[in-house]
Amino acid sequence: MADTGEGEKPRRDRFTSKAQAAARFVAQRLILKPVAWSVVDVTVVGARELKSVPRAFVVVANHSSHLDAPLILGALPRKLARYLAAGAAADYFFDVWWRRGLTALFFNAFPVDRSGANPRSVSARSLLDRGVPLLVFPEGTRSKSGELGHFKSGAASLAIAAGVPCLPVALIGAGRAHPRGSNWPKPGRLPVGVVFGEPMAAQDGETAVAFTARLRAEIVRLHEAHAARILGASPGTQSPEESPSPEGGRS
């Protein structure tokens, strides 16, 4: 946590408000999670092993579906999800009042400017310094093919600058259950998985690029270790969405 100065009270806003956290809990656990869990068959791995995660951290996950953020928020223990703020595209989720309000209510969202031309007032670094954990998808957008794409180094840079760990998460099957371009998940409650890895910190002198590569490799490892069991498929019969590219390139 950053030093706010002697006698200075920590800044309180919607990201750290206890009242809004309580309202968000109701929205997430009584609306968002039941809906998401009703349309897909969710398996969660590793959530009980996250007792050592500090107050501020950065969740880093692969991204292939609109299900991704609801799955992570629903699978995280309440203590870790309570103030979690999800990065959301400023040019879409913050362009009209009703989308801005809904993303704030359900995801505690902060705007991410994908163009670089219109920086917003909310600083991701300032949120970490105030103890607000972040959810970031380093691919920047949902994968078109379903394969794991190139990871940008912004999340790793934030973690290094703020001195906080990253929590790698492998999302399995979400792109198949609710692919990009679809308005609703496919019928039949297809299997999906949320696999939490152990928190990872940057090594002494490690660059953001190198740390990003380690995070991506861990997500690939988690994916490969659990995909067959979660999806009920034998190795070698996985679709492209269940076979992340080890090199990080987009097809």
Residue 180: CB atoms within 10 Å: 15
Burial of 210 from C-beta contacts in 10 A (0-12 / 13-18 / 19+) = middle
Query: Can you tell me the distance from the alpha carbon of 93 to that of 17, in angstroms, rounded to the nearest whole number?
Result: 21
In the prediction, which pLDDT does 146 show?
65
Per-residue model confidence (pLDDT) at position 111: 78
Give the dihedral sign, CA 14/20/26/31: negative
Q: For residue 1, what are the contacts with CB-CB under 8 A and spacing of at least 6?
A: 55, 56, 129, 130, 131
**Predicted pLDDT at 203:** 96
Residue 198 domain-assigned (yes or no): no
**Residue 11, domain member (yes or no):** no
Domain annotation covers residue 208: no
- Give the per-residue pLDDT at 251: 27
Whether residue 216 lies inside any domain: the answer is no
Query: Is beta strand 41-45 parallel, antiparallel or unpaired with respect to 191-196?
Result: parallel
Q: What is the pTM of this model?
A: 0.83
Counting as low any pLDDT under 50, the low residues of the chain are 1-10, 121, 233-243, 245-251
Asked if residue 86 is part of any domain, the answer here is yes
Distances (CA, A) of 49 to 64, 150, 222, 225: 25, 28, 15, 17
Is position 37 within any domain? yes
Q: Quick check: is 210 in a domain?
A: no
pLDDT given for residue 154 in this prediction:
92
Residue that is written with structure tokens 């946590």 in the block: 1
pLDDT value, residue 250: 33
pLDDT given for residue 49 in this prediction: 87
Give residue-wise pLDDT tens across range 40-64: 999 999 998 898 899 999 999 999 8
Give the pairing type, strands 166-172 and 85-89: unpaired
Q: For residues 163 and 87, give the distance between their C-alpha atoms in angstroms, rounded to a whole number.
A: 19
Residue 236 placed within a domain: yes
CA 20 to chain centre: 20
Q: Which domain holds residue 118?
A: 18-181+221-242
pLDDT at 218: 98
**Other CB atoms within 10 Å distance of the CB of residue 150:** 14
From first CA to last CA, the distance across the chain in angstroms is: 40
Domain count, the chain: 1
